[in-house]
Amino acid sequence: MLYSMDDMFNILPTVIVVAWATALILVEAFLPKKYKFITIWLTVLGLVVALVAAINQHGIEAEAFNGMLVVDGFSSFLNILILGSGILAVALAVGYNKRFGFDRGEYYIMMMFSIAGTMLMSSAADLIVIFLALELMSIPLYIMAAFYRGNVNSEEAGMKYFLLGAFAGGFILYGIGFVYGATGATGLSQVVTAINGGVDSPTFLLVGAALILIGLGFKVAAVPFHMWTPDVYEGSPTPATAYMAVGAKVGGFAALIRIFVVAFPTLSTDLVPILWGLVALTLVVGNLVAIAQKNIKRMLAYSSISHAGFILMAFLPYGDAAVFKSSVAAALFYLLAFAITSFGSWGVVIALEKSEGKGLLLEDYAGLGRKYPALGVAMLIFMLSFTGIPPTIGFAGKFLLFKAVMEGGYYGLAILGVLTSLFSAYYYLRLVIIMFMKSGEPNIVSDRWVTLVTASSAVATVVLFMVSTPLFAWAEQAVLKLF
């Protein structure tokens, strides 16, 4: 017997989410129309139960299913992050979906499946499982993007995301094929053994690694694989955008870090120049194009591209055994900072969005700070955090990131990061100026769950800055056993 109940127990949080989502499909189908809201509560309950299981699992280190999954600090950090994100995403979606008339319970079920996929990605240690988990994460995202039926933009977003996502999936699969051809293995540890023993065709291995990098670069929206991002983010229902901005990044970076740090450290000399270019392009294009945007959803889309660049930056010294731990920890910390800030800012967008895509232009935010000071201040905090100005968690994230990158010896990139952060200050703070200095009469839609998410994210953005040292210590502990 190659698997047992212990294996199931080791991946308990994932098992809970999958089983819960599957059961919810049936519950949703048999609930009378009046009681459909129960699905939402059950989704949150399921995520909370899984979150408790994930927290409970903290500190456990184990292998499951014949080494195909690894349970360690890294996976439990990301599991907690994605489950928390899921709860926030549900809270953002409840009122919005009802307001726009597509409040179907399947939305939450799809999200749960996507979360399960992301969780599997964070602990997958076999290329086959990584690919399947990636698809399990992505396919529900395509559906969530197209969920606003009858809305052309949403349908376009879903279709575009699906076609390009499938294309990227093909790249990853082809890359896995090359790696298998070169090493004869798909398990990451076997791949490493094979590489250390010397492979017959290092070129095939390199091509495979590059193809995997391209595919995952697409998922995390790194330039030049970012073209889908603004259109999909703009067209999707905003709560779905909020979720996919965080969920797809968490999953993509989880796989990227796990695959490259564990399996391909020897290729780093060949890959680092490519990564360097990728990071530089992502930072420059993301931040510069964001300046030209007039629609807040597109602006946040380019902002999320640029943050993918920052996270990728931490990835650069991955082959350097002395530095990679603190840099991967910085990437994890940055992901956390990005997730909190991102959910908060999308919450503000949802509060202002009207039907037919109205209320999404930057001008629509004029006067927000005067009419609704609390909301204005919350948005101010998120923009400061995105820019990386204290006292916000975004500052802590960027500080730790640049420190790690400098330790790795990539001074040029660190300077580029600081410079592009300055560029980004222009468009983030422009929004703040519009909110507080310009006069206007914005109307917000009152939605207590969105308010709750926005308020708690704003508080967390500041408070977590205060406790960023222990938080970073936690992230650092998470990557200790990654190797």
Partner 1 sequence: METEVIVFLILAFVAIGSAIGMIINKNAVYSALFLILNFATVAIFYLMLGAPFIAMAQVTVYAGAIMVLFLFVIMLLGAEQLKKADKGEWQKPVAILFVVVLIVEAVYLIFGGGGDLLPMINEVSEVGDPISLATKLFKEYFLPFQVTAVLLLAAMVGAIVITKQDKKS
116 near partner 1, rule: CB under 8 A: yes
Please give the structure tokens belonging to residue 303.
Answer: 């902002």
231 and 289 Cβ atoms separated by less than 8 Å: no
Instruction: Compose the 11-30 pattern: x for residues touching partner 1 by CB under 8 A, - for all others.
Output: -------x--xx--x-----
| d(C-alpha 191, C-alpha 202), whole Å | 12
Q: How far is the CB of 107 from partner 1 (least distance, A)?
A: 8
432 and 382 Cβ atoms separated by less than 8 Å: no
479 and 74 Cβ atoms separated by less than 8 Å: yes
Q: What is the largest CA-CA distance in the chain?
A: 70
Question: At which residue do the structure tokens 């927000």 appear?
Answer: 368
Question: At which residue do the structure tokens 């903290």 appear?
Answer: 58
Is the dihedral angle over the CA atoms 51, 311, 215, 347 positive or is it negative? positive
Nearer to partner 1, 48 or 132 (CB): 132
274 and 224 Cβ atoms separated by less than 8 Å: no
Nearer to partner 1, 147 or 402 (CB): 147
Instruction: Indicate which single residue of 47, 78, 88, 136 sits in contact with partner 1 (rule: CB under 8 A).
Output: 136
The window from 71-79, 112-120, 385-393, 409-417 that contacts partner 1 (CB under 8 A) reads 112-120
Report angle CA 62, 130, 325 to the nearest 5 degrees.
60
Is the dihedral angle over the CA atoms 284, 288, 289, 294 positive or is it negative? positive
Q: How far is the CB of 405 from partner 1 (least distance, A)?
A: 35
3-class secondary structure, 71: strand
Nearer to partner 1, 2 or 152 (CB): 2
Question: At which residue do the structure tokens 């919005």 appear?
Answer: 96
139 near partner 1, rule: CB under 8 A: yes
Nearer to partner 1, 65 or 395 (CB): 65
Instruction: Indicate which single residue of 126, 234, 353, 447 sits in contact with partner 1 (rule: CB under 8 A).
Output: 126
Nearer to partner 1, 101 or 373 (CB): 101
Cα distances (angstroms) measured from residue 380 to each of 304, 336, 458: 17, 19, 9
Q: Name the strand (E) or helix (H) holding 356.
A: none
Instruction: Indicate which single residue of 9, 44, 62, 106 sits in contact with partner 1 (rule: CB under 8 A).
Output: 106
Q: How far is the CB of 144 from partner 1 (least distance, A)?
A: 9
The window from 48-56, 136-144, 321-329, 415-423 that contacts partner 1 (CB under 8 A) reads 136-144
For 152, counting Cβ atoms within 10 Å of its Cβ (0-12 exposed, 13-18 middle, 19+ buried), the class is exposed
98 near partner 1, rule: CB under 8 A: no
Q: How far is the CB of 253 from partner 1 (least distance, A)?
A: 20
How far does Cα 379 stand from its chain's mean position?
20
Please give the structure tokens belonging to residue 69.
Answer: 């999954």
Instruction: Indicate which single residue of 40, 46, 47, 65 sits in contact with partner 1 (rule: CB under 8 A).
Output: 65
126: DSSP letter? B
Q: How far is the CB of 438 from partner 1 (least distance, A)?
A: 39
Nearer to partner 1, 69 or 223 (CB): 69
Instruction: Indicate which single residue of 36, 98, 149, 354 sits in contact with partner 1 (rule: CB under 8 A).
Output: 149
Nearer to partner 1, 179 or 312 (CB): 179
Applying CB under 8 A, the residues found at the interface with partner 1 are 1-3, 7, 18, 21-22, 25, 64-66, 68-69, 104, 106, 109-110, 113, 116-117, 120, 126, 128-129, 132-133, 135-136, 139-140, 142-143, 146-147, 149-150, 158
